[in-house]
Amino acid sequence: MIMEFTIQQVAGMIGGTVEGDGSLRVTMLAKIQDAKAGQIAFLANPKYEQFLYTTKASAVIINRTLELKKPVDATLIRVDDAYSSFTGLLEAYDRILSFSKTGVEEPSYIGKDSVTGSGIYRGAFSYIGQNVKIGDNVKIHPHAFIGDGCEIGDHTIIHAGVKIYPGNLIGSRCEIHAGTVIGSDGFGFAPQKDGSYKKIPQLGKVKIEDDVTIGANTVIDCATMAGDFTIVRKGVKLDNLIQIAHNVEVGSHTVIAAQTGISGSTTIGEQCMIGGQVGIAGHLNVAARTGVAGQSGVTKSIKEPGTKVMGPIAFEIGEFLKAYAVFKNRGL
């Protein structure tokens, strides 16, 4: 898909004033030092001003207040704040790109009594089971699997090869990246007298609230008991290859980096920042706004909001760094 606008049209979108030929067509956003003809760049940081006079971009967005020191080949779009105008264009471009696919590619599969809203995309080889409810403007990419009885809110993007087990709930404006699995069985087995293990039926579900982003190849297990949910609250951002075990609750606007694992029945508060490769043990409560350094192991509940911890059996980060300095010097 190519999106093509005249410079005049772009200026209109961001409330800018055109200096130069506004009828030229531009198709893509680029950095001022790399831009080519047909592209549009911006200048916000004065230390890049030199590139304004040499750029190959067809158009450059600049601040209204900037005084030119040399002639400029590119058409200029003057705005109050070049940086925020440019990021606004980026976001608009990203949104258009993300939601550009519509219609149904064949072969695809949809079971009986399933309903989809307007503006939907169902890629080839996507699978939607029975009794599924899918909102407006949802994008189901190729090889995605949406099990029987799932519900998906409006404007949600399900990338290629995502697997959502039956009966799970996904909110609106979510984005789930390729290969992620939602609703697989919790890891629950009862030891038997003969040394073997018997499966504890995992009959609960997963609920992903609105505005959640989940990276690629992450796994979120279902809750154990029927009627219970593993819950990812509003606005949570999960990176790639994360493990969220059964009955976990992740509080709203918490951010978790790649390869971290949260064990069963642990509750993470709101607005926490959890680094990559962290392990958090089961049945804990982690207070709001907790920070956990990468690779740490959290083995007990954290009660004080805003605590920052680090280490294999994590404790307060400043204390850990002091202890590690002593360790490194072999106690000297």
* Contact call for residue 255 and a copy of itself (CB under 8 A): yes
Residue 155 falls in the annotated catalytic set: no
Question: Which residues in the 48-77 window bind a copy of itself by CB under 8 A?
Answer: none
Out of 139, 153, 221, 292, point to the residue binding a copy of itself (CB under 8 A).
Answer: 221
Region binding a copy of itself by CB under 8 A among candidate stretches 49-57, 64-72, 300-308, 317-325: 317-325
- Pairing verdict, β 133-134 and 151-152: parallel
User: Which residue bears the tokens 């697997």?
Assistant: 163
Answer for which of 17, 21, 68, 201 binds a copy of itself (CB under 8 A) is: 201
Using the rule CB under 8 A, is 161 a contact of a copy of itself? yes
Distance CA 332, CA 322 (A): 13
Q: Is 113 in the site for a copy of itself (CB under 8 A)?
A: no
Of 200, 128, 52, 298, which Cα lies nearest the Cα of 308? 298
> Angle CA(113)–CA(119)–CA(121) in degrees, nearest 5?
75
Tokens (6 digits) for 193: 């007298």
Q: Is 205 in the site for a copy of itself (CB under 8 A)?
A: no
Residue 217 binds to a copy of itself (criterion: CB under 8 A): yes
Interface segment toward a copy of itself; rule CB under 8 A; list 45-53, 70-78, 113-121, 214-222: 214-222
128-138 exposure pattern, b = at least 16 Cβ within 10 A, e = fewer? bbebbebbebb
Q: Could you give the CA distance from residue 199 to residue 185 in angstroms, rounded to a whole number?
A: 10
- Distance in Å, CB of 165 to a copy of itself, minimum: 7
Whichever of 31 and 300 has its CB closer to a copy of itself, that residue is 31
> Minimum distance between the CB of residue 176 and a copy of itself, rounded to whole angstroms?
10
Give whichever of 23 and 84 is closer to a copy of itself, judged by the CB atom. 84
When binding is defined by CB under 8 A, the residue of 3, 15, 23, 34 that contacts a copy of itself is 34
Cα separation values, 141 from 54, 144, 177, Å? 41, 6, 10
Question: Which residue number, 16 or 275, has a Cβ lying nearer to a copy of itself?
Answer: 275
172 binds a copy of itself (CB under 8 A): no
Residue 23 or 312: the one with the smaller Cβ distance to a copy of itself is 312
Which residue among 141, 155, 177, 246 is the active-site one? Answer: 246
* φ, ψ at 197 (rounded to 5°): -125, 145
For 241: left if phi > 0, alpha if psi spans -120 to 50, otherwise beta; the answer is: left
DSSP calls for 296-329: -EE-S-B-STT-EEETTTTEEHHHHHHHHHHHHT
Indicate whether 239 belongs to the interface with a copy of itself (CB under 8 A): yes
Residues tagged active-site: 246
